[in-house]
Amino acid sequence: MTTIRDVAEKAGVSISTVSRVFSGNIVVKEKTRQKVLSIAQELEYSPNNIGRYLKSGQTRTIGVLIPDIRNPIFPVIVRGIEDMARRLGYSIFLCNTDEMVSQQEHYVQLMRSMRVAGLIIATGQKRSDHTDISKFGGVPVVSIIRQIDGIDSVTVDNAGGIEQAMDHLLQSGRKRIVLCKGPSSIQPYKERFDAYVAKMKALSLYDPNLVVDVNPFNVGYGKDPFIDTDIAYEQLKTFFANGLEFDAVLAANDVVAMKCLRIMEELGKRVPADVAVIGFDNVDISTMTVPPLSTIGQPLYEVGKCAVKRLVNRIDNPSDEVALEKRFETTLILRKTT
């Protein structure tokens, strides 16, 4: 690879000058500049960011740690991250942790070694070993999806979302509302569950039989491709086939909602005439189900963008003391299943 030295030599200037031409904003005589640029092009010179970093201490690089890019909320978030990162001059490393502490630690180490300027971490896990700040070794971190004490975070108001969904369901006269809940070990699902229980109890509508536990992604996490046998579907099928009386379903997320739609069809229940179904996330597919799915929209793309802004802000002002906690509101999206 051609280096700054090759270019300097051929252009008959010092390497300092070449460096100045490529670092921008520093004054170089226009004629010299042109000369250097043309030689550089001729030699296919590409400035070595690695060498550059060693002096400047700036890698302009962000590590993104998410559970699994195949969970459909993450492509949207990651796209938001990448778009904003690009705009601010950063590149991103993508790492899938499968919600496993060991893998997360591996990547935190690796990213530290890569001297990333900062880390964006998505973990729903409540276990503290995922969120032990001391392990980040001084690298700026922003947490998305779930709030972590002492760290900047960008989250979504899960409880508020459930409120919106339930108010809507209740207004249309539904009272026997099933909750298909995700694992309580994952913070956002826990929040949704708690909000549901609180609301149902407040209205004296709560009945534990209305709650079914679901493994939203056949997890599947950590396995090669997702498994084809659909655990969540089986769980739901068993639950609904049991003769339970209900008139609405509030699903842990859109994917689960979609499975419920299929089961309602199989059970001969009309949606929304016999039972209303509402999802959570407003992921792409929710527009395409039959009928199109009502759901609670999370601003996923915005979460990604915001996380990068916060992170860069933290990188530039590492000593700001208070952790910034941004919480987005959800929006009720009415389509044809409610």
Q: Which residue ranges make up the site for a copy of itself (CB under 8 A)? A: 1, 44, 46-51, 53-54, 59, 64, 68-70, 72, 74-76, 78-79, 82-83, 91-96, 109-110, 112-115, 137-138, 224-226, 228, 230, 233, 255, 258-259, 261-262, 265, 284-285, 287-290, 292, 300-301
Nearer residue to DNA within complex by CB, 56 or 287: 56
The β-bridge relationship of strands 331-333 and 295-297 is antiparallel
Are 122 and 151 in contact, with CB atoms under 8 Å apart? no
- Tell the smallest beta-carbon distance from residue 108 to DNA (Å): 16
Nearer residue to DNA within complex by CB, 12 or 150: 12
Nearer residue to a copy of itself within complex by CB, 27 or 273: 273
- Tell the smallest beta-carbon distance from residue 114 to a copy of itself (Å): 5
Residue 27 near which of DNA, a copy of itself, none (CB within 5-8 Å, type-dependent): DNA
Cis peptide before 140 (omega within 30 of 0): no
- Tell the smallest beta-carbon distance from residue 201 to DNA (Å): 56
- Cβ density class 236-272: b for 16+ within 10 Å, e for less: bbebbeeeeebbbbbbbbbbbbbbbbebbeeeebebb
Q: CB under 8 Å to 82, separation ≥6 — which residues?
A: 92, 304
Which residues form the interface with DNA (CB under 7 A)?
Answer: 1, 3-5, 12-17, 19-20, 22-23, 26-29, 31-33, 45, 47-48, 50-52, 54-56
Name the residue among 216, 202, 190 with its Cα closest to residue 166. Answer: 202
Interhelix angle 30-42/15-22, rounded to 10 degrees, is 90
DSSP state of 223: S
- Tell the smallest beta-carbon distance from residue 276 to a copy of itself (Å): 17
